[in-house]
Amino acid sequence: MSEWISVAGRGGQFRAYVARPNKTLAPSVVVLQEIFGVNKDLRATCDELAAHGFIAVCPDLFWRQEPGLDLNSLSSAEWEKGFSLYKAYDRDLGVRDIADTVLAASRLDGASGKVGVMGFCLGGLMTYLMAAREKIDAAVAYHGGDTEKYLAEADKITAPFLMHLADEDEFISKDAQAQIKSALGGKSNVEIYGYPGCNHAFARHNGTHYDAAAAAKANERTWRFLTDHLS
């Protein structure tokens, strides 16, 4: 079952897509978008999480700039629009919006109270920042661009943290990946997996660089990780 809800944030009201499992009590996972809004791909990700027993909540991160963004063709014009919103996005305010979403997710009917955060690209970075700055129960980041710019905050991450990196990511250089692994790899609460031969967004449904085998492996790791830490 899925629906749209309104989140009462400290900066205003914004929408979130919610997918629910077929069970009476479940942990919640806040799912954070790429630059294309809460689109078909993110809704499918939420539906998959619900099928694995989680309440998935995907907030509209760009609600201050262009509420309801839903880009799916990923044409050059849509990429240009997404990147322009990404560049103007206030990440500090974004952390606050996500924290408000986490609180709302913990209070939904049927929610157990435990909440994880997972995200892709921009959402992967925001997952990292949430883990560093807010209290959450678990975090999963898929190829979070610009993470290397915030590694001074790495020691603040105490929640269980799972990171997926594509070895051939065109937006996260090998040097940036090495910096991330150096800062986080020795932490007992952090797991980092690389995916050889994969490009950015290798787990995006039907994306240009979608790799079915790598996506399946990453997603299985994610579902198991979230089950282990949110149950």
Q: Give percent helix, percent strand, percent coil of the chain, each to the nearest 5.
A: 40, 25, 35
Give φ, ψ of 87 to 5 degrees.
-65, -30
Contact predicate 164/142, CB 8 Å: yes
What is the Cα–Cα distance from 47 to 95, expressed in whole angstroms? 24
Does the active-site annotation cover 169? yes
**132 Cβ partners below 8 Å, 6+ apart?**
150, 153, 154, 156, 157
Find the catalytic residue in 41, 137, 164, 200: 200
For the CA atoms of the chain, what is the radius of gyration?
Answer: 16
Coil, strand or helix at 148:
helix
What is the Cα–Cα distance from 87 to 75, expressed in whole angstroms? 18
Does the active-site annotation cover 164? no
What is the Cα–Cα distance from 19 to 148, expressed in whole angstroms? 32
DSSP string covering 171-215 = SS-HHHHHHHHHHHTT-TTEEEEEETT--TTTTSTT-TT--HHHH
Find the catalytic residue in 41, 97, 100, 169: 169
Catalytic positions: 169, 200
